[in-house]
Amino acid sequence: MFEMLPPALALIAGALLTFLISSKGLRAAVVITAPLICLYMIWQIPDGVVLRGAFLGYPLELVEGSPVRRLFATIFAIMAATGAVFAFNTARRTELVAAQFYAAGAIGVCFAGDLLTLFVYWELMALFSTVVVWCGGTEAARAAGIRYAIMHLLGGVVLKVGIEGLMVNTGSLDIRPLLATDFSTWMILIGILINAAAPPVSAWLSDAYPTASPSGSVFLSAFTTKTAILALILLFPGEPVLIGVGLFMVFYGIIYALLENDIRRILAFSIVNQVGFMVVAVGIGTEMAINGAAAHAFAHIIYKALLFMSAGVVVMRTGKTLCTDVGGLFRTMPVTMVCGVIGALAISSFPLTSGFTTKTMISQAAMDESLVAVYFLLAAASAGVFLHAGIKFPWFVFFQKDSGLRPKDAPWNMTIAMVFFAGLCILLGIFPELLYPLLPYAVDYVPYKMGKVLMYLQLLLFSGLAFFLLLPWMQRTRTISLDVDWLWRRGLPALARISARLSRPLISAGQQRLQSLVGSAGNSIRNTMGSHGPLGRSWEIGTTALWIALLLMMYVVFYYLM
Amino acid sequence: MTTPDNHWLTRPATIRRLWWIGSILLALTVALQWLIPIKGHFGVDGWFGFGAAFGFFSCVLMVFAAKLLGKLLKRPEDYYDV
């Protein structure tokens, strides 16, 4: 029976139950079990379309299975379960409900066989991720949530325009490999890239995620951008424009993370950086590259959530969000520190971590295709990841100066979630053969070759040296960095003010002119129609009779002549 | 004795020792290239110490770039609140 059911239903049911149940213990049981049931259902879905439907005469493929779809759904379900373990004790009920709907949207996208079904789940994600942002509960979260919602609804509209266009042009809504060649396909690509936080609108991610609650940002880090990667894999493998877009994202993330002071915003920028690697891989589009993108997404969700958990515990325990306010926390938070460091090593693709066994596949794909510039830029970016996330995050949060803060370590449930993900980072680093069979194509790749390991150790350790030598330059300042969103956060309001000021003389001149025009028209009407005007004043009966006689005479004359 | 306020990891002697260990590790990763050849796929990446130099200088470059862009992009943290 399960091979026909959309796995997302398990999470939707879980979300509804969480909404209804008032006992906290029962609720915790639901939020943790629902993703596990969902995980079971995911693995019952065979390849191919298994559930069809129709909407307004359009044929829908509600559930379609394939290895890459199951892979993404699997990590989303694992993420939802582990996130629930992390969150259930502290998160508000609204956040737990929203997070489950959000995960349901992501898993729904994984199995959507047509673009209309994909779109519905896509919007479900947009809707409930906004609620997760709002659960941050602060004024900043409210404002960032509104900007986030506008961006995603706009992205949804762009995507929908593309889908309609494709339907009109080709008569099919089937999800299949496309290339961005005409208006509709470009709209679809742009709609997906907005969710991937591609330029020029990357700012929505770093704007919204750090304002969510400590547990909310863990959920947010996982779903939206990686669903976009899956959509790119399914719809635009080998689209050359993605290589350039991805490389831009990679370096954008590094530079902005280097400038950033907010702990979780550093991690948010590094999501853009990591997703950039995956976008490049989809752009390369070979079997090795797609395997790399999928494997990297899988590993990335784990270590990025781990980093956000570690940062979340710090934010929760200290109430501080800025690097300049914390430091030296390793003394009293050893577990959070060790888990954070493992996440940091994994994101830097250190040998023996999941980052090394997955991200290097992307470099290998660039090498196989002799994309020299791409290969060297990715290598430089790998060094940059170690710089901005691998060392910077743990150094400024857990070491650096002694801030004098002596917070308690993570609560037991958060510890379980972190240790589980930290363990997975190392497990997949040592036994990549656990992950490789799940990838979309047969894997012909040996991650551990002596020469390559040595090359990466040189690359990473010397970027570490650069960090400590340039430490005076890396010290954080109490600043934010402008992004393209300045255009609508400051530029548009300023433009409105300026145009109002400039047009004031013009408008008042126009108003005066209109006033005098209306006034003179009024006067002339009053003069003719008023009680003294020729048409308005009263006439004597004799004069009136004379006029009538005159008019009748003229009528008779005209009638005779015609 | 180690207390949170005087942790062994923060003592100057420990930090000096960590710099020594770090330096030896760095030297070792480069020196090992004599024993373990790195197969360069584009020629230049097989050179002796290429990974070390490339990692170091690309980081320096990125920090410089960030510093320069920072001059242009950095604003006080209440910039959008006012």
> Which of A380, A467, A489 faces B58 most closely, judged by CB atoms?
A380
Decide: residue A221, CB within 10 A, 0-12 exposed, 13-18 middle, 19+ buried. Answer: buried
Which of A368, A458, A485 has the highest number of chain B CBs within 10 A, making it the mutation to test binding with B? Answer: A458
> Is residue B2 very low, low, confident or very high in pLDDT (cuts 50, 70, 90)?
low
Angle between helices A334-347 and A412-430 (to 10 degrees): 30
Query: Is the distance from CB of A39 to CB of A52 less than 8 angstroms?
Result: no
What 3 state SS string does A489-554 have?
A: HHHHHHHHHHHHHHHHHHHHHHHHHHHHHHHHHHHHHHHHHCCCCCCCCCCCHHHHHHHHHHHHHH
Query: Is the distance from CB of A66 to CB of A117 less than 8 angstroms?
Result: no
Q: Residue A308's closest CA among A274, A338, A268, A275? A: A268
Residues of B in contact with A490 (CB under 8 A): 80
Assess whether pLDDT exceeds 60 at residue B1. no
- pLDDT at res. B4: 65
* Distance from C-alpha of B26 to C-alpha of A435, rounded to nearest angstrom: 32
- pLDDT at res. A1: 64
Residues of A in contact with B66 (CB under 8 A): 254-255, 258-259
Helix H or strand E encompassing A9: helix A8-20
> Which of B37, B55, B77 faces A458 most closely, judged by CB atoms?
B55
ipTM over 0.85: yes
> CA of A326 to nearest chain B CA: how many angstroms apart?
15
* Interchain contact, A384 vs B38, CB within 8 Å: no
Residues of A in contact with B5 (CB under 8 A): 402
Instruction: Take residue A206 and report the two structure tokens written for it.
Output: 């770093």
pLDDT single digits (tens) A80-108: 999 999 999 999 999 999 999 999 999 99
Q: Residue A396's closest CA among A345, A471, A462? A: A471
φ, ψ for residue A142, nearest 5 deg: -65, -50
Domain ranges of chain A: 1-236, 237-480
- pLDDT at res. B81: 81
* Interchain contact, B54 vs A451, CB within 8 Å: no
**β-strand partners of A58:** A55
Distances (CA, A) of A507 to A224, A492, A493, A500, A522: 46, 21, 19, 9, 22
Q: What angle do CA A402, A405, A410 make, to 5 degrees?
A: 115
* Distance from C-alpha of A217 to C-alpha of A210, rounded to nearest angstrom: 6
Positions in chain A short of pLDDT 50: none
* Interchain contact, A473 vs B53, CB within 8 Å: no
State the CB neighbour count (10 A cutoff) for residue A382. 27
* Interchain contact, A384 vs B77, CB within 8 Å: no
> CA of B55 to nearest chain A CA: how many angstroms apart?
4
- pLDDT at res. A118: 96
* Interchain contact, A383 vs B54, CB within 8 Å: yes
Which of A247, A259, A454, A487 has the highest number of chain B CBs within 10 A, making it the mutation to test binding with B? Answer: A454
What 3 state SS string does A333-365 have?
A: CHHHHHHHHHHHHHHCCCCCCHHHHHHHHHHHH
- Backbone CA torsion sign across A229, A231, A234, A238: negative
pLDDT single digits (tens) A441-485: 999 899 999 889 999 999 999 999 999 999 888 888 888 898 888
* Distance from C-alpha of B45 to C-alpha of B39, rounded to nearest angstrom: 8
> Which of A462, A467, A477 faces B74 most closely, judged by CB atoms?
A477
Which of B19, B62, B67 has the highest number of chain A CBs within 10 A, making it the mutation to test binding with A? Answer: B62
Residues of B in contact with A258 (CB under 8 A): 62-63, 66
Q: Residue A451's closest CA among B46, B28, B1, B78? A: B46
Decide: residue A441, CB within 10 A, 0-12 exposed, 13-18 middle, 19+ buried. Answer: middle
pLDDT single digits (tens) B30-58: 888 888 888 878 878 888 889 999 999 99
* Interchain contact, B58 vs A482, CB within 8 Å: no
> Which of A259, A367, A489 faces B70 most closely, judged by CB atoms?
A259
> Which of B52, B62, B70 faces A254 most closely, judged by CB atoms?
B62
Decide: residue B71, CB within 10 A, 0-12 exposed, 13-18 middle, 19+ buried. Answer: exposed
- pLDDT at res. A148: 95
